[in-house]
Amino acid sequence: MSTTDKPDSHIIELSSVYFFSGPAPRAIALKDCGVPTNAPISGAFPALYGYQSKQDGFMAARAYADKNRLQFTVVDFLVKLDQKQNPNMMRPDDIPNHDFISFARMSRSMMDNLQAVLHERLAKEGITPSKLELAKPHLLLQQRPDLVSSLIEAPGWEHMKVIAYPAKLTISEKPLTVGIVPHSHWDSIKEASCRLNPGIRITLEPPNPSQVDSAAAGVGSPSLKDRGPRSR
């Protein structure tokens, strides 16, 4: 698989890591390989997106495995898009024509649209975020990964197969870009392989409806105001 994505491609490559002890397993279910975000993401599967994020993530995974006397392997998989990737900055009126979106390529108007979605979700929880907090939605999502579900469920976003944004992982001190695949688009995953252990078979059975694809499923969501680092 290529480690880069061409702007006109209908394929997104994502990667994740899987930790284990003892001998390598013969098979691994992809649904069990979500990268460990600092809080659960309901209804979606997180994986590393982008060359630099993957390299940093693999280094962090190796350090985590060494520290905890574990083995780890890298799982690569492909997500097939129905639409071409947008070579330009994403605007609100582009949304119907694309099913991949990255926070790194959003126009000002697209960012305003995103802020409105997050504001509505927080308002339903009785939280009134400040303008400063809404001005940097990626920081909100780092504190509250569960808010990603509000994007997946937002009117007009239901067709998005991959949403890429900088996330906080429990194995890394710095944020890394992840690609979120909604469970509703699981059938868009067309191929998966084990990079470091090619003999391991990667299976693609879908997650259970109630499954949370995060190794941090047992970690409580930090509050909106909690900005301190999380320790393991």
pTM of the model: 0.84
DSSP state string for 90-133: B-GGGGGG-SEEEGGGB-HHHHHHHHHHHHHHHHHTT----HHH
Q: Which residues pair with 100 in a beta bridge?
A: 162
Tell me how long the chain is: 232
Cα-based torsion angle of the residue sequence 193, 197, 201, 205 in order, rounded to the nearest 10 degrees? -60
Query: Looking at the predicted structure, is the pLDDT value of residue 131 above 80?
Result: no
- What's the mean per-residue pLDDT of the chain? 86
pLDDT digits (tens, 9 = 90+) for 21-70: 999 999 999 999 999 998 889 899 999 999 999 999 999 999 999 999 99
pLDDT band at 134 (very low <50, low <70, confident <90, very high): confident
Query: What's the average model confidence in pLDDT over 103-124?
Result: 91
Q: 20 in helix, strand or coil?
A: strand
d(CA 85, CA 87): 6
